[in-house]
Amino acid sequence: MIYTLQTATTIENVLRNELHLGKKYVHQLRMAKAVSVDDQLVSWTVQLPARTILTIDIPETKSNYLPASISVPIMYEDEHLLVVDKPKNMATHPNNSSETSTCMNAVMRHVTHYAEHVHRLDEGTGGLLLIAKNPIAKAALDYALANNEVTRSYTAVVEGRMVQQQGTIAKPIGKDRHHNTRRVVAKSGQVAVTHFKVIARTAKTTTVKLTLETGRTHQIRVHLAYLGHPIVGDTLYGAKLQGTTYALEATELTFTHPITHKVITVTKK
């Protein structure tokens, strides 16, 4: 991996505070003498000038997902990460080591070595899924996601005509004590924030674009149902209009690339 310093700094600072690697992994890199400048080892605590090029030899790591006989559409890819279009009614990842029908199994057919999802989509939600292709990209993207630096936008069709053109739903979400898989708005739940904007209306439905600040389980589904506008087909959350699945798609991802520092936007038309 090639990493170019954006400012004058040290290797130690890059690994810990720019790439956000854990102590154990940093120690592994140090023991392997995996970081060099112009093929030379340099002190990790000496300040290097901006534009210095680091070469990081990533220790061999393999993901545990079995490759599948199925594939998924790839919307963006480089040597560090990829974005795929997860089909509806496909789980993001397997629940046991023998399962091979999930999105991550399909990704392993393409990548073959290392791939780990940065976030997840509910099984019934289709659309864009961000995946790291090495542990360094994974750590940096995990940090970006946790700090609201990955913008995830969705499109949903909900029941009824929403009166409000746009707004923010800031209601905590917790488990439903009476249902194993449902979530509910609850005072004791985790903080959850969803922004929405109406983009179309019909006599019986409204199409909305939604952007997440947090990533709670079923967040969009719970918040829209709380407003009295469940997603069309989402019978788990009270929808009456039927469909083969519920009408929710992850349609846009925007993030700063952890290695190149370029802003990447991937859109599903």
Rounded CA-CA distance 141/120 in Å is 13
CA separation, residue 78 to residues 109, 192, 246 (Å)? 16, 32, 32
**122: annotated active-site residue:** yes
Angle at 199 between CA 196 and CA 204, to 5 degrees: 100
Pairing mode, strands 248-256 and 126-132: parallel
Nearest residue to 152 via CA among 83, 50, 199, 102: 83
* Catalytic-labelled residue, pool 122, 142, 176, 234: 122
Rounded CA-CA distance 253/152 in Å is 5
Q: Classify 26 as helix, strand or coil.
A: helix
Rounded CA-CA distance 89/209 in Å is 21
Positions of E strands within 107-192 = 116-117, 126-132, 151-159, 166-170, 173-175, 183-185
Residue 181 has a CB neighbour count (10 Å cut-off) of: 9
Do residues 20 and 145 touch, judged by C-beta distance below 8 A? no
Q: Classify 145 as helix, strand or coil.
A: helix
Do residues 249 and 154 touch, judged by C-beta distance below 8 A? yes
The residues carrying an active-site annotation are 122
